[in-house]
Amino acid sequence: MHNHQNTAGSEYLSCCAKHFVDGNGKKWRPFQKEGTPPMWCRDRLVDVEHIRLDLEPDFTSKTLKGRSTLTVRPINENTKFVELDACEMRISAVQVAGKPAEFAYDGQKLTIQFDKAPAADRALEIAVDYSTKPRRGAYFVGPDEHYPNKHREMWTQGQDEDSRFWFPCFDYPNEKASSEIIVKVPKGMTSLSNGKLLSKTVEGKHEIHHWRQEIPHVAYLVTLVVGDYVKVEQEWDGLEVSYLVPPGREEDGARSFDKTPRMVELFSKVTGVRYPYEKYSQITAVDFIFGGMENTTATTQTELTLHDARAHLDFSSEGLVAHELAHQWFGDFVTCRDWSHAWLNEGFATFMEIIWHEHEHGWAEAQYYAEGDMKAYLAEDRGSYRRPIVTNVYREPLDLFDRHLYQKGALVLHHLRFMVGDRLFWKAIKLYLERHGRQSVITQNLMDAFQDVTGKNLEWFFAQWVFGGGHPELKVSAKWNDATGQLEFSVTQQQKKDELTAIFRLPVKVKFVWEGGEETREFEITEASHRYFISLPKRPKIVLFDPGNTVLKTVELDYGEDLLIAQLKGAADDVMARVHAARELGKKGTAAAVEALAEVLKHDNFWGVQAECAEALAKIHNEAAHNALIAARGVKNPKARRAVASALGEWLGDKSANALTSLLKKDESYYVEAEAARALGKTRSGLAFDAMVKALAKESHNDVIRSSVFSGFC
């Protein structure tokens, strides 16, 4: 195992417990309390080769009993014991090589003594008989007095370190083993686990299902789901691609999962590594504690992702499905060696959501999808804390599974893709996967792959983006000088440099558009401030900083109103250029700004730009802006209508309430009605209460309308 720690980032590993101040004097909250000790990768006494679980779940008592048999090889000579993770279990017997063994158990760790030290590298079996009523790791759900129609299920959830609650194991991501589960289930019930179903036999009122996963994986990816399900089978290039849903939800399942084979094809193509396992299945779980879980070959998805045709107007499972599928490569085939490098799992899976949206829905959707990631990350960075993506200063692994890990990690990869170019980016990804498949990895392994492929030293890139915190906060200014025929163009990094946040090195493009021509130039931003005098044939009509918005940043455009309006209306092939212009015009609040925003809100061909115009008009918050929003409440795209409804909630009184009531009473979209209910409550109009109470009778996807009514009452 490669234990090298990236030296470029080592100085950042322990910095998360300090306070930092931005350029405006705001203190950044620390990610962890000062003095929080670092968490280092766990030692291994043995190499676990295989996990066999013989299990019998009891739905009545909500208990599991069984045997966990581990095939292990001691790593060193004179290994006198092995320690397994086993939480809150009753251990009835332990055997080593078929003979009873002495053990000690404290409710958390099971320490097994060897009679004599086994030879290093020699395989032996350790079998543990146990029973448990799991508090975590495995969950029994079903009908009760409050929810008599709830689907009866048993499902497991191992990540981060909860597999130890349902079977004794080495529960850490630096250990991989093949696995098999032999489970006794009530007759007629379906089970799903990793790998292939080898056999199914009847034994009285029960069935015995035997599953086996050949390619090694980590303990947190071992899964078992049992319940009454309908299986829908698809295929891609001879590979089984299937999903399992409760009876009667087949059509909803198709809306959520039907595109999976095409995703398998795309991800196999772009990574250069064919989907590496025996099958790919997805199964829904009631009351699932996360959105989805990428168990090897057998993803568990929340039942809440299932939706009807009306919800499908503006709700999609595609991001979730793409994310969990991508983990089969990034997280399962290659797995972070320890939790500090978990962005190699989650950042990649989130990035692959963008890749899917670009392929399926076009560049505009991909750009705005990435912007959603940026908004999520910024909300955490500004409102909660700032940290490096890679840090070993944490208390629980789950602390790390945040928007820095997922969304910022994805945006760093998005930036890297465009910085090195598509050909070299995917060539490096292929090398990384082929070189480290079936292994555990750290960030240095990814760095090495990129440096080997591109020939470039990218330590600076990973140092500032992955082992450092924050992001560039840019102010871009453009002023034309008629006398010299030059554009005075400046870029300022406004973020405060400190121990966590750097002055960033940014390769960036700028596109200049004038009457009858255009030119794109490349710049290298390396200082806190750069000033350029750029000769152009004519006065530019549009100045696009970072066309395509591929650099992770915030940007303030210090442009004249004419440049901003031209960018809003004229940057036809660049969604985020139009979005940035809309945001800047929202700050200006002039009559010309309102007129331009109102026009684009009604007529832009992309809903995200319309939504941003609605938000900008709400910030201007004058009568003209109010009238523009009321006039736009019938825009075609339901996602844009949701934004209009939300914006109308920024005005008190009956005028907004009347407009919102009409949306709440009847819109084709559940989510427009839900947003109208929430916004209606904010108007504090006397018209609101009765309309909102009536809306409580509306059935909707995941009760989104009722939930929004109650939110509006607050």
Instruction: Report d(CA 507, CA 497) in Å as an integer.
Output: 19
Percent with pLDDT over 70 in the chain: 96
* Per-residue pLDDT at 488 exceeds 50: yes
Is residue 640 within 8 Å of residue 614, measured between CB atoms?
A: yes
Question: 194, 183, 224: which is closest to 296 by C-alpha?
Answer: 194
Instruction: Report d(CA 620, CA 614) in Å as an integer.
Output: 10
Question: What sign has the CA pseudo-torsion 49, 440, 222, 109?
Answer: positive
DSSP-derived 3-state class of residue 419: helix
pLDDT band at residue 26 using 50, 70 and 90 as cut-offs: low
- Residue 35: its pLDDT value, please? 87
- Residue 13: its pLDDT value, please? 33
First to last CA, the chain: 54
- Residue 5: its pLDDT value, please? 32
pLDDT tens column, 358-413: 999 999 999 999 999 999 999 999 999 999 999 999 999 999 999 999 999 999 99
pLDDT tens column, 246-292: 999 999 999 999 999 999 999 999 999 999 999 999 999 999 999 99
Token readout for 464 is 């500032």
- Residue 8: its pLDDT value, please? 32
403 alpha-carbon distance from chain centroid: 8
Cα angle: 284, vertex 287, 292; to 5 degrees: 50
Is residue 171 within 8 Å of residue 219, measured between CB atoms?
A: yes
Mean pLDDT confidence for 485-499: 97
Is residue 223 within 8 Å of residue 192, measured between CB atoms?
A: yes
Token readout for 705 is 């309308």
pLDDT tens column, 464-480: 999 999 999 999 999 99
Instruction: Report d(CA 439, CA 433) in Å as an integer.
Output: 9
* Per-residue pLDDT at 4 exceeds 60: no
For 546-623, list the strands marked E by DSSP.
Answer: 554-558
Instruction: Report d(CA 509, CA 532) in Å as an integer.
Output: 14
Token readout for 393 is 């200063």
Count the neighbouring beta carbons within 10 Å of the beta carbon of residue 149: 5
Is residue 317 within 8 Å of residue 245, measured between CB atoms?
A: no
Q: Which residues pair with 245 in a beta bridge?
A: 230
Instruction: Report d(CA 115, CA 132) in Å as an integer.
Output: 28
Question: 280, 259, 251, 219: which is closest to 50 by C-alpha?
Answer: 219
The number of residues in the chain equals 714
- Residue 195: its pLDDT value, please? 99
* Per-residue pLDDT at 19 exceeds 60: no
- Residue 483: its pLDDT value, please? 96
Token readout for 537 is 């044939």
* Per-residue pLDDT at 37 exceeds 70: yes
Cis check: omega of the bond before 160, within 30 degrees of 0: yes
* Per-residue pLDDT at 2 exceeds 80: no
* Per-residue pLDDT at 24 exceeds 70: no
Token readout for 441 is 């990895």
- Residue 701: its pLDDT value, please? 98
User: Could you say which DSSP state residue 407 is in?
Assistant: I
- Residue 33: its pLDDT value, please? 84
* Per-residue pLDDT at 14 exceeds 60: no
- Residue 34: its pLDDT value, please? 86
Is residue 31 within 8 Å of residue 391, measured between CB atoms?
A: yes
Place of tokens 């331009």: 596
Instruction: Report d(CA 67, CA 117) in Å as an integer.
Output: 24
Structural domains present in the chain: 10-38+363-465 (1.10.390.10), 47-326 (2.60.40.1730), 472-558 (2.60.40.1840)
Tell me the backbone φ, ψ of residue 460, rounded to 5 degrees. Answer: -60, -40
87-121 burial, b at 16+ Cβ within 10 Å, e below that, comes to: bebebeebbbeeeebebebeeeebebebeeebeee
pLDDT tens column, 209-228: 999 999 999 999 999 999 99
User: Could you say which DSSP state residue 119 is in?
Assistant: P
pLDDT tens column, 542-558: 999 999 999 999 999 99
Is residue 184 within 8 Å of residue 299, measured between CB atoms?
A: no
Is residue 509 within 8 Å of residue 520, measured between CB atoms?
A: yes
Instruction: Report d(CA 18, CA 30) in Å as an integer.
Output: 6
| Angle, helix 591-603 to helix 623-631, in steps of 10 degrees | 10
Token readout for 69 is 């048999």
Mean pLDDT confidence for 593-608: 99
* Per-residue pLDDT at 25 exceeds 80: no
Instruction: Report d(CA 235, CA 241) in Å as an integer.
Output: 5
Mean pLDDT confidence for 39-61: 98
- Residue 29: its pLDDT value, please? 80
Question: Rg for the chain (alpha carbons), in Å?
Answer: 28
Is residue 248 within 8 Å of residue 406, measured between CB atoms?
A: no
Q: Which residues pair with 508 in a beta bridge?
A: 523
- Residue 27: its pLDDT value, please? 57
* Per-residue pLDDT at 541 exceeds 70: yes
Question: What sign has the CA pseudo-torsion 182, 186, 187, 189?
Answer: negative
Is residue 304 within 8 Å of residue 702, measured between CB atoms?
A: yes
User: Could you say which DSSP state residue 405 is in?
Assistant: I
- Residue 7: its pLDDT value, please? 31
